[in-house]
Structure 1
Amino acid sequence: MIDVAIIIVSWNVRDYLVQCLRSVFADLQQSRLRGEVWVVDNASTDGTPALVRDLFPNVHLIANQNNPGFGAANNQGMAAAQKDAPRYYFLLNPDTKVQPGALLALINTLEERPDGGMAGARLVYGDGRFQHSAFYFPGLRQLVFDLFPLPARLYESRWNGRYPQAWLAQGKEPFAIDHPLGATMMVRADVAEATHGFDESFHMYCEEIDWSWRIRATGWRIYAVPSAEIVHYGGESTRQVPATSVINLWRSRAQLYAEMYGRFKLAVAKKMVQIGMRRRAKQTNDPQMKQAYETITQIWREI
């Protein structure tokens, strides 16, 4: 048995992955947690598997020959780690740097709260700026913020699904949330196994919202942990394919809204997205993005 199995899914971010792994091993050593690390590489073409084998021979490497998606790859890692009977799974993005004490703070939060099934870290950007990492479940109001221009002061509010920055300040106590950002998720192993991990039909994006929804539905609570700080550079894989990424995002959102909400709310969401995407298609001069917005309009029309 080990304390934590750390699962990192990578795709063409080998330099960030090296920094991430070094920070993980440093924190494991400092905390004296019994941990093992699995890297699941989704068919990178930048030499990631060879680099991991060379620099980190103690990492368990799964080198996929194709890209099954973020959720499916995390499920692969958790399934492989089951043989070591971890008490927790820690799902971590590769474009991160774990700050000292973060892993232990996340685990201690769940150890001290028997109702806690999952915990997420406090995130900052590479330059130290605050990054939102705790969210309310999305609804129609968030779609308004995503699709149409609104006063800047409203973007940091609960209306846009954000918890107050002050609640995530260092030194603040953990607090219950709807869902964390998928970059860092500490999950009890028995909760992960009982809820069957990620829904693999979400290829990329929204899978952490869906899983959090299901975890919450079974009676578990999810916590944000301000004392667990992790640097998250953000979007290092997805920005390599911007048009594809925006289509993937809105396809996953369509699936999420269809599963989470009733007929009336979904009908309103469909209309909003179609109006918003037609507006974006008219405004852009980028032919790839124009095609992406038109594709999204069609996806939402058909759900």
Structure 2
Amino acid sequence: MAERERVDSVPLISLITINYNQAAVTCELLESTRRLNYPRFEIIVVDNASVEDPTERIAKGNYPNVKVVVSPENLGFSGGNNLGMQYAQGDYFFFLNNDTEVTPDLLDQLLKPFQANPRVGIVCPKIRFYFHPTIIQYAGYHPLNPYTGRTWSIGLGETDQGQYDQGGPTDFAHGAAMMASRRAVEEGGAMDESFFLYYEELDWSMQIQRAGFQIYYQPSALIYHKESISVGKASPMKVYYHTRNRLLFMRRNVGGFPLYVFILYYFCFALTKAVLLYAVKGQIAYLRSLTKAVVWHFKNKIRRPAKAVFPSVVTVS
């Protein structure tokens, strides 16, 4: 009875992760959640229209309290997470890349900033590279340069020697692991689904902060990310979304004189440099992606953030 009362007294946390043709990787994450000390959590796996439905494979793993939501179409990062929230019952939503692995007290440590300050809206752990476990990927974010549209994570590539063990507000969350309160999402709105890939967590961070909430870096919470320590291989799709979404992010979040300077800088320097590079290398597909990304902005209006709406009861078959 005492144990049941202890469990019921703590907030329910909904872990939300997206699977896309990586059932084995997703199951490794689910396996790692067995080591979590926190007594009350559920897991929502959103499958983004994978070739093979992972439901049966996940069910065979007998992982704790998992719901699988299969989307008939690929909704991207933001759309998949928004769908996951619709099925989540938690007081907090913990968005996790499926290529991460958790540590035992991760959830307990992530909750502490919320409990200390009601204006904290999103909390991110320290992130290290899984295959280089002493190397930092994220220890908060540097402020955005409004004239170039650039920012980067603090500590990236550095050996963790405790130099970033002081927690506090930061400018942006990291999409690999970020916990948001239900209140912050309800007041700040869901993720904008037009991003699909890249820049969506930066945009959402700005959106949540405009609603009056803080983004918080919590170094006592630790997670490992299986992303490569080197820059990922380029592809026409990656070039398209990076180009399109950098412009989209700036148009949604920066205005006035800084936006005009950014546009001048981007088209006269950054974009021109990319065009020349791809032309010299004969990468025609990349040039087409750049063109397509820019043309998109002439055809589409910028959507303003939408409020999130959550059902009080959800039944998952």
| Greater helix fraction, Structure 1 or Structure 2 | 1
Q: Can you list the C-alpha shifts for 1:245-283, whole angstroms capped at 9, x where unaligned? A: 221122111111111122413422441332122122124
- Pair 1:45-2:42 in alignment: no
- Pair 1:70-2:77 in alignment: yes
- Using the TM superposition, name which of 244-253 and 278-287 deviates more: 278-287
Contact 1:284-1:290 at 8 Å conserved across structures = no
Q: Return the letter of the residue paired with 1:13.
A: Q
- Pair 1:277-2:281 in alignment: no
Q: Cα offset for 1:132?
A: 2.7
What is the aligned partner in structure 1 of residue 123 from structure 2?
119
What is the aligned partner in structure 1 of residue 195 from structure 2?
202
Output the CA distance in 2 between the equivalents of 1:22 and 1:288: 40
Output the CA distance in 2 between the equivalents of 1:59 and 1:79: 15
- Secondary structure, in 3 states, of the residue corresponding to 2:91? strand
Q: Cα offset for 1:31?
A: 2.5
What is the aligned partner in structure 2 of residue 152 from structure 1?
none
Q: Return the letter of the residue paired with 2:96.
A: L
Match for residue 179 of structure 1 among 166, 172, 181:
172
Q: Residues 234, 164 of structure 1: CA spacing in aligned structure 2 closer, same or farther, 3 A cutoff?
A: closer
Q: Cα offset for 1:164?
A: 5.0
Q: Residues 56, 133 of structure 1: CA spacing in aligned structure 2 closer, same or farther, 3 A cutoff?
A: farther
Match for residue 35 of structure 2 among 9, 22, 26:
26
Match for residue 7 of structure 1 among 8, 16, 22:
16
Q: Residues 4, 268 of structure 1: CA spacing in aligned structure 2 closer, same or farther, 3 A cutoff?
A: same
What is the aligned partner in structure 1 of residue 311 from structure 2?
none
Contact 2:137-2:153 at 8 Å conserved across structures = no
Q: Can you list the C-alpha shifts for 1:207-266, whole angstroms capped at 9, x where unaligned? A: 11111101111221111111111111127xx96983212211221111111111224134
Spell out the pairing of 1:205-216 with structure 2 (5 A cutoff).
205-216=198-209
Q: Return the letter of the residue paired with 2:17.
A: I
Q: Return the letter of the residue paired with 1:184.
A: A
What is the aligned partner in structure 1 of residue 247 from structure 2?
254
Contact 2:275-2:287 at 8 Å conserved across structures = no
What is the aligned partner in structure 2 of residue 106 from structure 1?
110
Query: Which sections of structure 2, spanning at least 5 residues, go unmatched?
Result: 1-7, 301-317
- Secondary structure, in 3 states, of the residue corresponding to 2:118? coil
Query: Which sections of structure 1, spanning at least 5 residues, go unmatched?
Result: 146-159
What's the TM-score once normalised by structure 2's chain length?
0.78
Output the CA distance in 2 between the equivalents of 1:138 and 1:183: 19
Q: Residues 285, 25 of structure 1: CA spacing in aligned structure 2 closer, same or farther, 3 A cutoff?
A: farther
Q: Residues 169, 88 of structure 1: CA spacing in aligned structure 2 closer, same or farther, 3 A cutoff?
A: farther
- Using the TM superposition, name which of 3-12 and 48-57 deviates more: 48-57
Q: Can you list the C-alpha shifts for 1:19-44, whole angstroms capped at 9, x where unaligned? A: 111112321xx232x11110001011
Q: Cα offset for 1:179?
A: 0.6
What is the aligned partner in structure 1 of residue 237 from structure 2?
244
Output the CA distance in 2 between the equivalents of 1:141 and 1:124: 30
Q: Residues 169, 110 of structure 1: CA spacing in aligned structure 2 closer, same or farther, 3 A cutoff?
A: farther
Q: Can you list the C-alpha shifts for 1:133-164, whole angstroms capped at 9, x where unaligned? A: 52235335655x7xxxxxxxxxxxxxx54435
Q: Can you list the C-alpha shifts for 1:25-82, whole angstroms capped at 9, x where unaligned? A: 321xx232x111100010112553332232246411101121012111111111111x
Output the CA distance in 1 between the equivalents of 2:235 and 2:206: 27
Number of aligned positions between the proteins: 281
Q: Residues 286, 51 of structure 1: CA spacing in aligned structure 2 closer, same or farther, 3 A cutoff?
A: farther
Q: Cα offset for 1:9?
A: 1.2
Output the CA distance in 2 between the equivalents of 1:75 and 1:243: 26
User: RMSD of the TM alignment (CA)?
Assistant: 3.0
Contact 2:96-2:178 at 8 Å conserved across structures = yes
Q: Residues 207, 234 of structure 1: CA spacing in aligned structure 2 closer, same or farther, 3 A cutoff?
A: same
Output the CA distance in 2 between the equivalents of 1:18 and 1:240: 25
- Using the TM superposition, name which of 125-134 and 92-101 deviates more: 125-134
Contact 2:148-2:266 at 8 Å conserved across structures = no
- Secondary structure, in 3 states, of the residue corresponding to 1:135? coil
Output the CA distance in 2 between the equivalents of 1:283 and 1:132: 34
